[in-house]
Amino acid sequence: MAESRAARAFALLLLAGLALVPLVAAWLGQPFWVTLFTRILIFALAAMGLNLVLGYGAMVSFGHAMYLGIGAYAVGILSHHGVDNGLLQLAMALGVGALVSLSVGAICLRTSGMAFIMITLAFAQMLFFLAVSLREYGGDDGMQLRNRSQFGPLDLNDATLLYYLAYALLLAVLYGFWRLVHSRFGMVLRGCRSNERRMRSMGFPTLRYKLSAYVISALVCVLAGMLMANLTRFVAPSYMAWTVSGELIVMIVLGGLGTLIGPIAGATALLLVEEGLSSLKLGIPWLDTVVNQHWLALIGIFIVLVVLVLKQGLYGWLLVGERSRAERRAAPKPARVPAGDRPPYSVDEGQT
Amino acid sequence: MTTGLFFTQLLNGLQLGVLLFLLSAGLTLVFGIMNVVNLAHGSLYMMGAYFAAAAFNAFDGSFLAAALVAVPGTLLLGLLIERIVLANLYQRDHLDQVLATFGLILFFNEVVRFVWGPASVYMNVPSWLSGTIDLFGLPYPAYRFAIIAVGLAVGLGLYALINRTRVGMLIRAGASNPDMVSALGVNIRGLNTLVFGLGAALAGLAGLMAGPIVSVQAGMGEPVLILTLVVIVTGGIGSIRGAFYGALIVGIVDTVGRAFLPTLLRELLDRSVAQAVGPAIASMLIYLLMAAVLALKPQGLFPVKHG
């Protein structure tokens, strides 16, 4: 892929910066940063998983928080019954995740477009209400984890270790997705994004490819959910609230849809903005209170603006920016509207 | 006794269904004509309820004042949203529309918390509807019955509007081929705004009617929005008839399921198992219904006929 130099530098800088977080936090004496950035990594992982179907397959799943919940509840429920073995929890989480995503995916993929968005949302809600009604496991309030998962010599109670585990997993998934997206499988998936009917008439069983992508992306979210339970030592239905699914999509679109680094950049940016707004100190007391209590309203406006203005996302903007700057150097002309953005003929020429 | 209880629950289900119909009619029209997903529809419902409660409490308990503020207020708000945000997104993918309206939901929830505080706001049933009425020997709250009546009247009105008037004809034409309608000289933008306003007003009406029987609080729109989406998907996206039957089915299945499924399971299963499984299955029932419908008929029960 002909990525621009700026975009590649940005990606390397972001990954290197994330690798250094615990060191910087220890140096500055801010251990809280490690927790915050572990959260960022976990959401980045989940967003990357969702991006496989959303960005590369153009399947707008509005229910991926469900798989975060499955990962978290697998850890929580097994731990509740005294099973702290991480490998067993992993097997359980991936097994249940695969089973659920296969059946949910098989039903949802019968529809497309708008119906797909709504039906994935509805399934996630179904699981949410299921979790709420599980009184044994805390119901609405969720439950505290007695112990973190035990992976032999790895002690997940060590915040730095947990951070680097999440980081290693993120790099592994990033590499795996890089191979996947550029493989034949990824080509077919991207082909479906542009024109599924053509792919079918070329003889590809597209449903099978889309379903596989859906299951893979769900399993990555399950892994993120397991990490989340271990980070917070707490499992609650709120992990699979539909707003979480929405936030994952926001991260992807903010970072850059259908790019590998985009979801990581988006998750970092969104969570840092949220953190910044909720603890903002401008020195004007009443404004500070309003912003700190009602920062979600600003996030809402922010999301609307991102959608309206920043069409390719932060990282996508770097990719495209370089290209259009080069074009402008080659042909110095007044601003042009890309052909795709305007109808074949425009009636209200004067107004725009 | 049990049959009495059953009919009461059936009526409650009908009442929920009618409320869902008010919401899904607007949403499905907006989708059918403009091809736009509007997740903020639940927020319009919430704002309707808040406007109603505020007016109700300001004009010491006048339900008429509540109605006169809530419905036009929500209509105006809907038109503003359409002009400022959604009109720019008609040509974009569903993804962008989903995201922008998701942002609007977050925004409106906080606005409500800021203006009316985090606690719920209460609104009473108007005094002239506070009693019960006698339905074939069965006492039933008059207000809930009024909701059913209003909903059915709106359903009839919409049917007449869509199938019997010129505007309705344009709406149907716009749904099947907007370019052609536009080429014939109809102001399709104006038509879009009109339909969006109609949907918003219906959401406001739903908020007004629901105000006295639910707690009016931030985030009250989301569970209802999701039920509405289930209704639309089950009934067939874009179809008013589908929205009507879908809403009644979902309302009745949900209410009756929650009321009787746990008891029914206790007869069939071990007591402790039934205690644990009953509420879980009852709350999942409508989603299972939707999954079954989609597995058999991906277009929904009453798909729109084109061509």
Residues 216-245 on B with a CB inside 8 Å of A are 222, 226, 229-230, 232-233, 237
What is the pLDDT, as a whole number, of residue A328?
Answer: 61
Q: Is A288 exposed, middle or buried (0-12, 13-18, 19+ CB in 10 A)?
A: middle
Question: Which residue out of B94, B98, B239 would a mutagenesis test of the A interface target, given it has the greatest number of A Cβ atoms within 10 Å?
Answer: B98
pLDDT of A141 > 90? The answer is no
Tokens of A85: 């073995």
B284 touches chain A (CB under 8 A): yes
Of A262, A242, A243, A264, which Cα lies nearest the Cα of A253? Answer: A262
* Domain assignment present for B124: no
A-chain CB neighbours of B298 within 8 Å are 110-111, 115
How many domains does the structure of chain B reveal? Answer: 1
Segment holding B138, helix H or strand E? strand B138-141
3-state SS record for B217-267:
CCCCHHHHHHHHHHHHHHHCCCCHHHHHHHHHHHHHHHHHHHHHHHHHHHH
What's residue A350's pLDDT?
A: 34
* Largest distance between two CA atoms of chain A: 71
Is residue B125 included in any domain, yes or no?
no
pLDDT at A114 over 50: yes
Chain-chain contact of B99 with A130 (C-beta, under 8 angstroms): no
Residue B239 lies in a domain: yes
Residue A326's pLDDT is: 63
> Does residue B130 sit within a domain?
no
- Determine, for residues B290 and A297 on separate chains, whether the beta-carbon distance falls below 8 Å: no
Cα angle B282, B227, B298 (rounded to 5 degrees) comes to: 95
For chain B, give me the number of helices (H) and strands (E)? 11, 2
Is pLDDT larger for residue B106 or for residue A284? Answer: B106
Contact B104 A300 (CB under 8 A): yes
> Which residue would you say has higher pLDDT here, A224 or B303?
A224
* Stretch (H or E) spanning A75: helix A65-80
How many residues does the structure list for chain A? 352
Contact B108 A300 (CB under 8 A): yes
Put simply, the answer to whether B96 touches A307 (Cβ < 8 Å) is yes
How far, in Å, CA of A191 to CA of B126, rounded? 59
Burial of A114-133, coded b for 16+ CB within 10 Å and e otherwise, reads bbbbbbbbbbbbbbbbbbbb
Q: How confident is the model over A162-179, as pLDDT tens digits?
A: 999 999 999 999 999 999
CA dist., res. B254 & res. A126, Å (int)? 13
- Is residue B96 one of the residues assigned to a domain? yes
A111/B99 CB distance under 8 A:
no
Q: Which of B28, B29, B106, B232 to mutate to test the interface with A (most CBs of A within 10 A)?
A: B106
CB–CB contact B109 A242 (8 Å) = no
Contact A294 B114 (CB under 8 A): yes
Q: How far apart (Å, rounded) are the C-alpha atoms in residues B215 and B121?
A: 7
Q: How far is CA B157 from the centre of its chain?
A: 16
What is the per-residue pLDDT for B17?
92
Beta-strand pair A143-144/A234-235: antiparallel
pLDDT, tens only, A33-68? 899 999 999 999 999 999 999 989 888 899 999 999
Report the distance separating Cα B37 and Cα B229, nearest Å: 10
Q: Are B18 and B246 in contact (CB under 8 A)?
A: no
Contacts of A135 in chain B (CB under 8 A): 276
Collect all residues with Cβ–Cβ distance below 8 Å to B133 and sequence separation of at least 6.
Answer: B139, B140, B141, B142, B145
In this predicted structure, what is the pLDDT of residue B45?
A: 94
Q: What is the pLDDT of residue A323?
A: 62
pLDDT higher than threshold 50 for residue A351: no
Mean pLDDT of A255-279: 88
pLDDT of residue A325: 61
- Name beta bridge partners: B132: B141
| Helices A114-132 and A86-108: angle between axes, nearest 10 degrees | 140
Asked if B250 and A125 touch (Cβ cutoff 8 Å), the reply is no
* Residue A5, CA distances (Å) to A9, A19, A106, B210 in order: 6, 21, 40, 57
Interchain contact B33–A (C-beta under 8 A): no
Q: A249 vs B284: CB contact, 8 Å cut-off?
A: no
Of all helices (H) and strands (E), which one includes residue A292?
helix A285-293
pLDDT at A147: 83
* CA–CA distances in Å: residue A216 to residues A3, A52, A106: 25, 8, 14
- Higher per-residue pLDDT: A70 or A31: A70
pLDDT band at residue A337 using 50, 70 and 90 as cut-offs: very low
Domain containing B94 equals 2-116+137-296
Cβ–Cβ gap A62/B94 under 8 Å: no
Interface-testing mutation among A103, A108, A111, A118, with chain B (most B C-beta atoms within 10 A):
A118
Q: What percent of chain A has pLDDT over 90?
A: 37
Mean pLDDT (10-residue bins), chain B, 307 residues? 79 90 89 83 93 88 86 93 86 85 91 87 81 79 89 90 88 82 86 89 92 86 88 85 90 88 78 73 84 82 68
- How confident is the model at residue B80, as a pLDDT? 92
pLDDT tens digits for range A177-197 = 999 999 999 999 999 888 888
Is residue B26 in some structural domain? yes
Residue B89 to residue B76: CA distance in whole angstroms = 19
Q: Do A307 and B229 touch (CB under 8 A)?
A: no
Average pLDDT, chain A: 84
Q: What is the pLDDT of residue A2?
A: 46
Whether B276 and A135 lie within 8 Å, measured CB to CB: yes
> Do the chains contact at B284 and A129, CB–CB below 8 Å?
yes
Task: Provide the token pair at A309.
Answer: 């203005």
* Bridge partners, B243 (sequence order): none
Q: In chain A, what residues touch B88 (CB-CB under 8 Å)?
A: 308
Select from A126, A253, A297 the Cβ nearest to the Cβ of B110. Answer: A297
Contacting residues of B for A304, CB less than 8 Å apart = 85, 100, 103-104, 107
CATH code of the domain in which B270 resides: 1.10.3470
Residue whose tokens read 């996630």:
A124
Please indicate, yes or no, if residue B285 is contained in any of the structural domains: yes
Residue A99 has pLDDT above 90, yes or no: yes
Q: Which residues of A touch B (CB under 8 A)?
A: 54, 60, 62, 107, 110-111, 113-115, 117-119, 121-123, 125-126, 129-130, 132-136, 242-243, 246, 249-250, 253, 257, 290, 293-294, 296-297, 299-304, 306-308
Q: Are A254 and A246 in contact (CB under 8 A)?
A: no
Q: What is the pLDDT of residue A222?
A: 95
CB-based contact, B80 to chain A, within 8 Å: no
* pLDDT value at residue A78: 92
Cα A109 to Cα B290: distance, rounded to the nearest angstrom: 14
Q: Is A335 exposed, middle or buried (0-12, 13-18, 19+ CB in 10 A)?
A: exposed
Please report whether residue B98 resides in a domain: yes
